[in-house]
Amino acid sequence: MGIFVNSDNSAFQVALNSEIYIDKTGLLTYTNKVMNTLQGYVCVSRPRRFGKSMAANMLTAYYSRGCDSREIFSKFEISESPDFEKYRNKYNTIFLNMQEFLSRSDSVEALVDRVKKLVLRDLKREYPDVDYFDDTDLVESMQDIYREKKIPFVVIIDEWDCMFREYKQDREAQEKYLDFLRDLLKDKGYIHLAYMTGILPIKKYGTHSALNMFDEFSMISPGPLASYVGFTETEVEALCRQYKADMSEVKSWYDGYSFEKEKSIYSPRSVVNCMRFEKIENYWNQTETFEALQFYIDMNFDGLKDDVLSMIAGEKVPVNTGSFTNDMTTFRTEDDVLTLLIHLGYLGYDSNEKCVFIPNNEIRSEYVNAVSVSDW
């Protein structure tokens, strides 16, 4: 059992130990379905506070050969799947939190080098008897292990897009990082599942992406994973009954993210805090100040001011999400700003009407604070 390779289930156990845990193990039914297929590349982008890391820890606990997680999953939805045992704890699982690597690196080269060295150290401890062609080359070492042991890899990358948030203007660094991920993951027989989480969808360069093999599930198009974006109406109703909370108030404050296959999704962290502290208030600003929003709405695009004020008043605004380049610096139109705010959770998106809106009272209060001190 290593730190990055075949780690244990302790990180997921922390979530299970919490006062409130909502069963989202049904997500594993989807990842099992796409295992070792052309669809086995999954990129999930969500705002902060929407449980991305918890899901990544869950996948690690389920797939990693470094533990036996039968008991902790036996009480949840995934245990009812006929494939529950087929995939459980059967894979060489690599879990990487890129934010942690970035915080200890002063360049993209240092980050990539650190990832390679630490993962290689774990691999060689796990498989010291493998005949490595070049034990300093991560990709070739994984290929050697797969060839000799016949055990495929699951790679889980949390905060995969932190590089694009830290090095917003450094295109060269971004491309080097994408090239590293492509070399590690694309067209590799040893990879049976690659699962990435982040705030942003995969960065586009020109007409293609270096990671174009991924299916992307975002706040604009979550597809079959819509019910795992946040808490569903049924889940929140059950919490309100348990904690004797006013469902109508909770709905007005924390609901509003609506998708084609799930019409009502709630901000999970805010709902949990509301139940635990028995109080309706703005929990969003406890992890991010309104200045983060103010920066974007202060951009001087024609119509942005009027549209923000209209949305504060409860109206919807048309948006074209197609021109967004999936970064935090390339803004050519008001639509690009509005699209980023969808991914950040500051706007809801109506895919049928192609409109954006402020989803709930919690987020509306953030807009009011931002506008009150803006350059407007």
* Whole-angstrom distance, CA of residue 49 vs CA of residue 285: 11
Strands (E), 230-354: 231-232, 257-259, 262-266, 317-318, 348-350
Choice between 232 and 203, residue whose per-residue pLDDT is larger? 232
How high is the pLDDT of residue 289? 63
Residues 259/265, Cβ–Cβ less than 8 Å = yes
**How many separate helices (H) and strands (E) can be counted in the chain?**
17, 11
> Whole-number mean pLDDT of the chain?
92
Q: Identify the residue whose tokens are 């028995």.
A: 278
Output the pTM of the full model: 0.94
Per-residue model confidence as pLDDT tens digits over 90-148? 999 999 999 999 999 988 999 999 999 999 999 999 999 999 999 999 999 999 999 99
Read off the pLDDT of residues 266-291 as tens digits, 9 standing for 90 and up.
Answer: 999 999 999 999 999 999 887 666 67
Q: Are 208 and 235 in contact (CB under 8 A)?
A: no
Q: Report how far residue 369's alpha carbon sits from residue 43's, in angstroms, rounded to the nearest whole number.
A: 33
Mean pLDDT value across residues 39-58: 94
Q: What is the dihedral of CA 307, 256, 54, 336, to 10 degrees?
A: -20
Residue 91 · residue 154 · CB < 8 Å: yes
Rounded CA gap, 355 and 346, in Å? 14
- Residue 370: pLDDT band with limits 50, 70, 90: confident
Across the strands, what pairs with 19?
none
DSSP 59: H
Per residue in 296-332, pLDDT (tens digit) is: 888 878 888 899 999 999 999 999 998 887 777 778 8
